[in-house]
Amino acid sequence: MSEMTSRQRVIMALNHTEPDRVPFDCTFTIGAYQRLSRHLGQTPDPDVLPSSPSLNVTPPIEFLKQLGVDLYYVGLGKPSNAAAFEVGTPAYTDEWGIHYKLIETGSGFDYVAVHNPLAEARLQDLEDFPWPDPDDPALTDSLAEKVRRLAQETDFALVGKFNSALFEHASMLRGMERLYIDLVENPEFVEALLDKLADLAIRQIKRGLETCGPHLQILRLAGDDLGSQNGPLISPRMFRRLVKPYFARLYGEAKRLLEIYNPSAKMKAHTDGDVYPIIPDYIEMGLDVLNPVQPFVAEMDHARLKQEFGAQLSFHGGIDIQHTLPYGTQEEVRSHARHAIASLAPGGGYILAPTHYLLPDVPPENILTLRDVVMESGRYPLHNIIE
């Protein structure tokens, strides 16, 4: 098969057909980007900086092309009333009122939330909370032109990330322990909070899609981690009773908006950990692509997922960032990636990627090995691949 563009490759894979090779994605925190850039003999771009305590960055286009990355992410800008984030600042408060503190880690530094603005809130306080404004003009400043240029001048598959999370953001605003107590003792508060967050997320998605929707191949809904290493964070019964209705409303509205602005685009969602018992719920809500299909957790065996859900879902991710990429040998990375390809890629429906932003503890050699496996072993038809 002749070489495809990244956009063609991703579209074919997500339509459950086999392109020239398995699409590849890789996202970075600033430390990981700078470390790999120096390893490649390049000077890191000083303008590539994170805009939030997550420390994720978008590397330069040529850097991504050198890695063979097929996807490029675009999103809303910072609100006009949000404080600028500077790497290394000891403390930061975002537009939600969540306070973060700088901490040292084994591989550099990170930011952790140390204040939850709704920790002591009552139900009536939700009406007076200063929610971010999804109609702020700053959110889409220059976005339309940027995405139009990317669509015309590059061949990346373009991914729109526009909305804030529901369950995960509820835990950041309320505090995780308090939110879990609320699920049992104060469900009315949880429902009201999720309702507010769903309203906001839908309006954010609408802003993004009406600004640049026709140029996108994927709408990526914000991360809502609902799995642990050993199972869902809350029972499937509680999820379906208290949380799923708000996810379903968000997913339904996102699908409706895609029908208006870009019917061919696919909807992807992120949820870490073992979410096997509720994958049918995601399918029922209209999800097209599940990320990150985290390996080495209780019930997320890749071959099993492909067999049971591969006709209805595509998969994005699959490469371990807890052990294999940061601590494994190059041969272990190679074997792990080949196993993911063998399990998830037959027939299309798979984009290989690490399960989250790469941290600076991942050796550059392992990232390049991962890329090389995709380029060598990920070519269709999948001959000489394990299992």
pLDDT of residue 106: 81
pLDDT more than 70, % of the chain? 99
Name the residue among 278, 268, 185, 165 with its Cα closest to residue 227. Answer: 278
> pLDDT tens-digit profile of 88-134?
999 999 999 999 999 998 878 999 999 999 999 999 999 999 999 99
Residues 6 or more apart whose Cβ sits within 8 Å of residue 287: 251, 267, 268, 269, 313
pLDDT of residue 387: 47
Identify whether 304 is part of a domain.
Answer: yes
Identify whether 110 is part of a domain.
Answer: no
Domain enclosing residue 343, as ranges = 6-88+128-377
Count the neighbouring beta carbons within 10 Å of the beta carbon of residue 81. Answer: 11
Identify whether 336 is part of a domain.
Answer: yes
> pLDDT tens-digit profile of 247-301?
999 999 999 999 999 999 999 999 999 999 999 999 999 999 999 999 999 899 9
Section 211-218 average pLDDT: 98
Identify whether 104 is part of a domain.
Answer: no
Section 29-46 average pLDDT: 97
Quote the mean pLDDT of the chain: 96
Which CATH number does the domain housing residue 331 bear? 3.20.20.210
pLDDT of residue 348: 98
Residue 7 pLDDT > 70: yes
Identify whether 117 is part of a domain.
Answer: no
3-state secondary structure of 68: coil
Identify whether 367 is part of a domain.
Answer: yes
Dist. CA 56–CA 347, nearest whole Å: 32
Q: How many domains does the chain have?
A: 1
CA distances from residue 329 to 26, 28, 325, 335, 361 in whole angstroms, order as listed: 19, 20, 8, 10, 13
Residue 206 pLDDT > 70: yes
Identify whether 387 is part of a domain.
Answer: no
Dist. CA 70–CA 8, nearest whole Å: 10
> pLDDT tens-digit profile of 126-160?
999 999 999 999 999 999 999 999 999 999 999 99
3-state secondary structure of 255: helix
pLDDT of residue 108: 84
pLDDT of residue 2: 83
Identify whether 108 is part of a domain.
Answer: no
State the greatest distance between any 2 C-alpha atoms of the chain, in Å, as a whole number. 62
Residue 384 pLDDT > 80: no
Task: Report the predicted TM-score, pTM, of the whole model to 2 decimal places.
Answer: 0.97
